[in-house]
Structure 1
Amino acid sequence: MHPKSANRLAGFGTSIFSEISALAARYQAINLGQGFPDFAGPAFLKDAACSAINADLNQYAPSTGLPTLRAAIARTWERHSKVSVDPDAEITVTSGATEAMFATIMALINPGDEVLIFEPFYDSYPPNVLMAGGIPRYIRLHEPRWEVDFAQVRAAITPQTKAIILNTPHNPTGKVWSRTELSQLAAIAIEHDLLVISDEVYDRLVFEDYQHCSIATLPDMWERTVTISSTGKTFSVTGWKIGYAIAPNSLTEAIRRVHQFVTFASATPLQAAAVVGLNAGEPYERQLLQFYNARREQLVKVLRDAGLYVLPPQGTYFVMADIRDLGWDNDAEFCRYLISEIGVAAIPPSAFYHDGYQSGMVRFCFAKKPETIAAAAEKLKQLGSRS
């Protein structure tokens, strides 16, 4: 870094996603690493964006988001949670869930405040806490089923603990927190008067008999919870970066004070198109889930056929696969080998642990065309021939 760079950037390296994507491009590998679709978003949604542009909806939106979008978010939230929310006072539209997370942490965390983070974690959480002057405290989910030890959660709490970051459905593991687990976490938050920042961007991608539950809807949790989500995953338009935060008015006011000085407002025509997407409702969501469940089953079979142990994910569009039976004990080395010698890219989850912990697994993404996964299957057959 430049010698005049801010001290707060110390320890912030290049994102693992950038590194893996660069390697994949260098070796022309099939990219099952970074979590974005390689197929087009819905035509009706793209048409809506074009219509909004042609209708000259191209100037600043209100900083809090288009009223029509906030209303659509409120309707969607109530349809799924059976809880009403005030679109004017309790919803803020942001430039993706990543900005919503940053604005929330900057709004609520003071220097010296401790924040509990479950690991493996989405990689923006610790830097956000650190930039706010907070102190991350880590609690490990235990593989292979990514179980929570609530005794460890309680042991991590100190008088300085202010918040817990929750992610369900969970990236990278695919875990969907059960209502029982959420109730236990809620009891701890209430007992110790903690905030909960809940990242729920994959809430529409939950498979089999698993059910997504927003912790904000549990008894006595609304007033202490910020729920963060996004339209990018639901509508396969991750580059649009239309996210949002749902929170009680007192927390929303704080989030909005930060948001106005980060991006002020997100792209107006894309917000207008997101309204059309959300209004598509349950028929679209059922179709989306069927689409992704087929890709999930396809990739799980491919990985198992390649000799990897896989526990099918409960949610998200990621699969964690165990590489230890192939003789590997370092996930980053395996991923570099996989790209350079096999021609398939995956993500090493050690990047999602504060101490580089080796879980013996790597993360693959199935937000891909069937032919992309099939092409990867042909290459992955080579794994069994490694001496």
Structure 2
Amino acid sequence: MAQLSSRLDWFTESVIRKMTRVANKYNAINLSQGFPDFDPPEEITNSLIDVAKGGPHQYEITWGSNEFRKELARKQEHFMGIGINPEENIVVTCGSTEAMMVAMMAVCDIGDKVIVFSPFYENYVADTILSGAKPIYVPLIPPKFNFDKEVLENAFKQGAKALILCNPSNPVGKVFTLEELGFIAKLANKYDAFVITDEVYEHIVFPPYKHTYISSLPGMFERTVACSSLSKTYSITGWRLGYVIGSKEVIDNCKKVHDFLTVGAAAPLQKAALEGLRFTDKYYADLGKLYEKKKELFLNGLRECGFKFYEPQGAYYVLVDISEFGERDDYKFCQWMAREVGVAAVPGSSFFREDVNNYIRFHFAKKEETLIEAINRLKTLKIKAMEGIK
């Protein structure tokens, strides 16, 4: 048999998605893969019923329907504070997962270097390698997960073509400050590099923290390839509606990649999702309050259980320290916890370039009753751990 592609040797299948299968196997509460167990807004689901009967059911324009791009441009102009031309500055993709790959392939050539903050969402390294680029890792330092400015500039000095910025971040929930974003922008301009953003949690930020779009900073729109999706904002992760926003030159390249990668996002779902894009500011304010309430409920529960963790500033994840249990294999710990405790998490090592295996990641995008039941199960963890983690 001919040799298979060697580039895939650099990474495994998604650990996050694998833990969902583990959760299903043991009937555990799935706090690993970040999707809600509650319904999307009724306006969107009711619209989907109408679209199922009336269409469209055939291909849309490759880079997104005219109506969808128009409404998305209007919504993002409002929040980003920059002008967005729906014809020149947007490509609609099959989720933000495709958006990130499109962005990578649009700006990077084979052999280019890309800066990745560690810890990172696991797809970023896979995207870098699949596009033929090479990652340069820059650590985010606990407990605030800030970066060392000198280390970051040294990474740019190595000839980085781009930097990947997840803001608010997955898995630690860091919201980058205006000062931090300004420093990144300064380096991007100084070393002539792009910034590829993942901003899917843009509307899930906890006071007093505020999300700033780096593309809105002076001189950064032309250097930023902004990726996001509707998945988290409207609780429709299975609809796979994402997008890339950037300058005309960047988007012209993104259109080429997207056209041959997936052709286009689902036409009926674009139509149904228009209702969400037309929501007023109240929806986004209420969304933030909803997740703040879930965060407080779950984190208070973790405190009652005696766990040590890093409180998120945004997104809906929390990184928990499991050092006290003495288990050096975080994947084994998560398998055991799903089986014996009935709660599934993600091994933290899947997010770190460094040799780190004392963290697990939970998410709290669940109904209150689901979170309460998860906390009740976690209260038994320490007692069961004393009997041995096998």
Report TM bin, short chain. Answer: over 0.9
* Partner SS state of residue 288, structure 1: helix
* Partner SS state of residue 223, structure 1: coil
Structure 2 unpaired stretches of 5+? none
Residues matched between the structures, number? 385
Report how far residue 319 of structure 1 moved: 1.2
Q: Name the residue aligned to 1:137.
A: 136
* Partner SS state of residue 10, structure 1: helix
* Partner SS state of residue 261, structure 1: helix
Map of 1:300-319 to 2, 5 A cutoff? 300-319=299-318
Q: Check if 1:25 corresponds to 2:28.
A: no
8 A Cα contact 2:226 2:244, kept in partner: yes
In structure 1, what is the Cα distance between the partners aligned to 2:117 and 2:269? 32
In structure 1, what is the Cα distance between the partners aligned to 2:311 and 2:11? 32
Q: Name the residue aligned to 1:273.
A: 272
The residue type paired with residue 347 of structure 1 is V
Q: Name the residue aligned to 1:12.
A: 11
In structure 1, what is the Cα distance between the partners aligned to 2:70 and 2:264? 17
The residue type paired with residue 164 of structure 2 is I
Q: Name the residue aligned to 2:381.
A: 383
Deviations 1:55-102 (A, max 9, x none): 221111101101111111111112112211111100110000000111
Report how far residue 9 of structure 1 moved: 2.1
In structure 1, what is the Cα distance between the partners aligned to 2:145 and 2:331? 20
Q: Name the residue aligned to 1:362.
A: 360
Report how far residue 228 of structure 1 moved: 0.6
The residue type paired with residue 170 of structure 1 is S
The residue type paired with residue 239 of structure 2 is W
* Partner SS state of residue 251, structure 1: helix
Q: Name the residue aligned to 1:373.
A: 371
In structure 2, what is the Cα distance between the partners aligned to 1:78 and 1:131? 32
In structure 2, what is the Cα distance between the partners aligned to 1:354 and 1:251? 29
8 A Cα contact 2:157 2:191, kept in partner: no
In structure 2, what is the Cα distance between the partners aligned to 1:193 and 1:269? 40
Report how far residue 328 of structure 1 moved: 4.0
In structure 2, what is the Cα distance between the partners aligned to 1:299 and 1:327? 24
In structure 1, what is the Cα distance between the partners aligned to 2:127 and 2:51? 33
Q: Check if 1:322 corresponds to 2:327.
A: no
Q: TM-score, normalised by structure 1?
A: 0.96
8 A Cα contact 1:307 1:384, kept in partner: no
Report how far residue 333 of structure 1 moved: 2.8
Q: Check if 1:174 corresponds to 2:173.
A: yes
8 A Cα contact 2:172 2:310, kept in partner: no
The residue type paired with residue 97 of structure 1 is S
The residue type paired with residue 82 of structure 2 is V
Structure 1 stretch 47-56 or stretch 231-240: which is displaced more?
47-56
* Partner SS state of residue 148, structure 1: coil
Report how far residue 355 of structure 1 moved: 4.7
Structure 1 stretch 71-80 or stretch 322-331: which is displaced more?
322-331
In structure 2, what is the Cα distance between the partners aligned to 1:328 and 1:43? 44
The residue type paired with residue 373 of structure 1 is L
In structure 2, what is the Cα distance between the partners aligned to 1:131 and 1:310? 33
Deviations 1:175-219 (A, max 9, x none): 011111100111111110111101101001001111100100111
Q: Name the residue aligned to 2:115.
A: 116
The residue type paired with residue 266 of structure 1 is A
Q: Name the residue aligned to 1:290.
A: 289
Structure 1 stretch 150-159 or stretch 31-40: which is displaced more?
150-159
Deviations 1:322-377 (A, max 9, x none): 2223444442232122112211111112111235433x321111011111111111
In structure 2, what is the Cα distance between the partners aligned to 1:166 and 1:292? 22
In structure 2, what is the Cα distance between the partners aligned to 1:328 and 1:302? 22
Q: Name the residue aligned to 1:195.
A: 194
In structure 1, what is the Cα distance between the partners aligned to 2:293 and 2:325? 26
Q: Name the residue aligned to 1:44.
A: 43
The residue type paired with residue 193 of structure 1 is D
Map of 1:182-221 to 2, 5 A cutoff? 182-221=181-220
8 A Cα contact 1:115 1:135, kept in partner: yes
8 A Cα contact 2:181 2:214, kept in partner: yes
Structure 1 unpaired stretches of 5+? none
The residue type paired with residue 244 of structure 1 is Y
Deviations 1:233-270 (A, max 9, x none): 10001000000000000000001100000111111111
Deviations 1:160-188 (A, max 9, x none): 31110100000010001111110011111
In structure 2, what is the Cα distance between the partners aligned to 1:4 and 1:316? 41
In structure 1, what is the Cα distance between the partners aligned to 2:146 and 2:325? 25
Q: Name the residue aligned to 2:225.
A: 226
Q: TM-score, normalised by structure 2?
A: 0.95
Map of 1:72-151 to 2, 5 A cutoff? 72-151=71-150
In structure 2, what is the Cα distance between the partners aligned to 1:332 and 1:312? 22
The residue type paired with residue 155 of structure 1 is N
Deviations 1:8-65 (A, max 9, x none): 3223322102321222122111111110111111111011122122222111110110
8 A Cα contact 2:347 2:361, kept in partner: yes
In structure 1, what is the Cα distance between the partners aligned to 2:50 and 2:286? 24
